Every structure is written in C-alpha cells, then in structure tokens.
C-alpha cells in the first residue's frame, strides 16, 4: 500500500504544478492510460490471492478516481485562468471617444437628381430607366431621326465597336434620354407619366461641355394633354426647385421627335456679374420640349389618333450649377476631393418636397 501512496503523491503533485493542458494530458496517459502505471497495477490484480485482491482492488479504484478528479479540477482551473488572462489583456475602454473619420459626400449631380425626382414624383411622375448602351433604333429611328440627320454623324455620337462579320444592329452610347420614351411606351402603354434621369454621351469637350453628362427626360401621354399642361408642369417644377417663382419662355424650335417643338428659357438676372434665377429680364435656355410626334407614338406602339402628350429633356448638370453656384462644368467629373467636399452634400441632407 505504501507504493500506492507514492504513486498518489507523485501524480497529485504533478497535477498541482502542471501549467498547461498538454502537460495534464501527459500525466493522464502516464497514470490512467492503457499503458499507464495505475492500469498496470490493475492488471496485476489477477495474479494476487483473493485476500490481497480484496484490499488492493478498492484501493486502486479509489486512487484512479482521485487522480481522475484532480485532473478534471485542474483542467477547469487552467481554463478559468486562460479566460481571465484574455479578459485582462484584451480589455478595452468602450467609453473612449471614436477616432474621427472623414465622411464621404453626395455629389451635386446625385443630389439634384434626387431633388428633381422628388419634385416630379409629387406631380405624379414615376421614374423609368433605359440602358446607356442603346441600339440606334431606340436612340434615333424610333424618335423620327432619319439616317441623314446631323445628330447621327460620327462626330457627335459614340458608336460601339463592331468586329468584322458581326451582324448585330449598330449600338451607340445614348446621346439623350429620349429613347426611354420609346421603352416606356412599349412596356406600359398609354396613359404614361414618367421621368427618366440618367447619363448621356456626346463627343464634345470644352468649358461647358463634357463627353458624358446628365439629363432628365419627362413624358406625359393621355387623351388630351396639351402644351398648356407642359408649361404648368415646368413652371411648377422650376419654382419649387429654385424656391422662388420662376417665369418660363417658350421659343418655337425643331426636334424630329416633337410637333410642335419648343426650347424653354427660365427668367434670370445677370446683374453684378452673378446669375440669379427667378428675377430680372434675362433668359437662360434650360431644356428642349414639345408635343410628342405622331410617328414617335406609333414607334412606341401607341395610337396617335387616341393619345397625345408632351415630352421634355433637361440638362441636370446645368441645373446643379445654377442652383448651387458652381462655375465650371468640367470640375463635376474630375473627382477632386477638395471640390467634392466643398460642393458635396451630407448623406443625411435628403431632399424633401415639403422643405422651405
């Protein structure tokens, strides 16, 4: 039995001083494993006399249980220690103020698109979309623009490259948002009230032109829509957009897809070298418009004897420059962070038709 006391002392000591779970596992194998010391003694029980076995058997079992319990207790203690150590070393002060981070800003064009969308939505116009890479049928033919028309010539329009033998119809980067008129007619039929904001492309680059710019198309089709409705909608829109009553002037003009067509100017003053919208006796051209040409209605699958309507196309970049006093169009697309921070809007500065 003295041998057992030695064994007990040896293992309980070892367990007491073990510092890692791996060390504990080594001790478990050495004592209780198949080839361990306690297991070895148990195998010897078979060679003992019944009397010896009667005392030795229970003693060995007790020793085995004791070592096993010590191993478990120590394992739990080591786990607690590891957790405490992590809690101590990974402590962090959640009450510290956060590091300041630069927030991005909303581009003036995005802001103005949102503003315009909200204002037209208030008048019952839904948003429609079309692709920026458009077939020449949607961009030109369906809009009554004949192949000889100057707007179709290479110097204005970006044509998509076609490999030799590629027989797909020609595609272009849309030169205006007007093809969305046709797509809306085809997909929803009359009556229609939509606006279509988006990017358009023309080969043009100077102080007031960039090869990509933005337009908003408007289209209203119903039984008896007239130029008077167009004028009301636009005056209502400009006054809400600029926050002041804005007069408009319609000048007869020609677009292949309207009959009649008109260019629209808004009232402004140039006094003191700065431009002010809604006052004075100057005029500034801001959009093209007109009654939708019967051939265009027909191309969109709408019967021109039953339905009529107006359409307009307005430059959004110009609208942003006018409202927010931004002098140079090209800066819009240069991604200069200082410019963006100066002219950009906070993400929380959401346009609302109820403001001001």
Chain positions contacting ligand PHE, by CB under 6 A: 176, 178, 255, 258, 261, 288-290, 311-313
Cβ distance to ligand PHE smaller for residue 227 or 340 = 227
Query: Among all chains, which residue has been given the structure tokens 């909303």?
Result: 106
Cβ distance to ligand PHE smaller for residue 105 or 139 = 139
Task: Compute the C-alpha angle 44/16/69, nearest 5°.
Answer: 55
In the complex, minimum distance from the CB of residue 277 to ligand PHE, in angstroms, rounded to a whole number: 20
Residue, CB closest to ligand PHE: 313
Distance CA 212, CA 173 (A): 10
Cβ distance to ligand PHE smaller for residue 257 or 345 = 257
Distance CA 67, CA 30 (A): 11
In the complex, minimum distance from the CB of residue 204 to ligand PHE, in angstroms, rounded to a whole number: 12
Cβ distance to ligand PHE smaller for residue 130 or 261 = 261
| Partners of 235 in beta bridges | none
Structure tokens at 41: 């003694």
In the complex, minimum distance from the CB of residue 261 to ligand PHE, in angstroms, rounded to a whole number: 6
Which H helix or E strand runs over 311? strand 308-315
Cβ distance to ligand PHE smaller for residue 15 or 216 = 216
Distance CA 301, CA 295 (A): 10
Structure tokens at 222: 């119903």
In the complex, minimum distance from the CB of residue 104 to ligand PHE, in angstroms, rounded to a whole number: 31
Distance from the first to the final alpha carbon of the chain = 97
In the complex, minimum distance from the CB of residue 202 to ligand PHE, in angstroms, rounded to a whole number: 9
In the complex, minimum distance from the CB of residue 178 to ligand PHE, in angstroms, rounded to a whole number: 4
Cβ distance to ligand PHE smaller for residue 181 or 239 = 181
Q: What single-letter DSSP state applies at residue 205? A: -
Q: What is the DSSP string of 320-337?
A: HHHHHT---SGGGGS--H
In the complex, minimum distance from the CB of residue 97 to ligand PHE, in angstroms, rounded to a whole number: 51
In the complex, minimum distance from the CB of residue 217 to ligand PHE, in angstroms, rounded to a whole number: 6
Return contacts of 118-124, CB within 8 angstroms, 24+ apart. 118/351, 118/352, 118/353, 119/237, 119/240, 119/241, 119/353, 120/195, 120/216, 120/218, 120/237, 121/353, 122/240, 122/353, 123/233, 123/236, 123/237, 124/193
Distance CA 267, CA 249 (A): 8
Cβ distance to ligand PHE smaller for residue 112 or 314 = 314
Q: Which of 78, 70, 36, 42 is nearest to 57 (CA)?
A: 42
Structure tokens at 105: 């800003």
In the complex, minimum distance from the CB of residue 215 to ligand PHE, in angstroms, rounded to a whole number: 6
Cβ distance to ligand PHE smaller for residue 15 or 321 = 321
Cβ distance to ligand PHE smaller for residue 192 or 311 = 311
């Amino acid at each position: 039995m003295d041998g057992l006391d030695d064994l007990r002392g040896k293992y309980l000591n070892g367990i007491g001083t073990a510092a890692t779970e791996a060390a504990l596992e080594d001790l478990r194998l050495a004592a209780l494993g198949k080839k361990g010391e306690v297991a070895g003694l148990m195998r010897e029980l078979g060679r003992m006399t019944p009397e010896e076995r009667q005392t030795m058997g229970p003693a060995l079992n007790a020793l085995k249980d004791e070592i096993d319990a010590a191993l478990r207790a120590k394992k739990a203690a080591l786990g607690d220690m590891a957790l405490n150590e992590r809690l101590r070393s990974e402590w962090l002060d959640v009450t510290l103020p956060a590091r300041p981070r630069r927030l991005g800003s909303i581009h003036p064009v995005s802001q103005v698109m949102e503003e315009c969308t909200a204002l037209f939505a208030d008048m019952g116009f839904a948003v429609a979309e079309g692709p920026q890479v458009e077939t020449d049928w949607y961009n030109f033919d369906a809009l009554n623009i004949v192949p000889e028309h100057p707007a179709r010539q290479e110097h204005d329009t970006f044509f998509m490259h076609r490999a030799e033998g590629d027989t797909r119809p020609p595609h272009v980067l849309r030169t205006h948002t007007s093809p969305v008129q046709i797509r809306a007619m085809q997909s929803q039929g009359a009556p229609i009230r939509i606006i279509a904001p988006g990017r358009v492309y023309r080969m043009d680059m100077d102080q007031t032109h960039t090869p990509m710019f933005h337009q908003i198309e408007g289209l209203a089709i119903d039984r008896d829509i007239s130029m008077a409705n167009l004028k009301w909608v636009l005056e209502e829109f400009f006054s809400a957009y600029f926050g002041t009553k804005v007069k408009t002037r319609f000048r007869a003009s020609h677009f292949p897809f309207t009959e009649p067509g008109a260019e629209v100017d808004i009232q402004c003053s140039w006094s003191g070298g700065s431009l002010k919208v809604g006052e004075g006796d100057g005029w500034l051209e801001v959009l093209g418009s007109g009654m939708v040409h019967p051939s265009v209605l027909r191309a969109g699958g709408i019967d021109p004897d039953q339905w009529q309507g107006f359409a307009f196309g307005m430059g959004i970049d110009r609208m942003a420059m006018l409202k927010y006093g931004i002098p140079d169009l090209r800066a819009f697309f240069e991604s200069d962070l200082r410019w963006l921070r100066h002219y950009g809007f906070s993400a929380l500065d959401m346009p609302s038709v109820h403001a001001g």
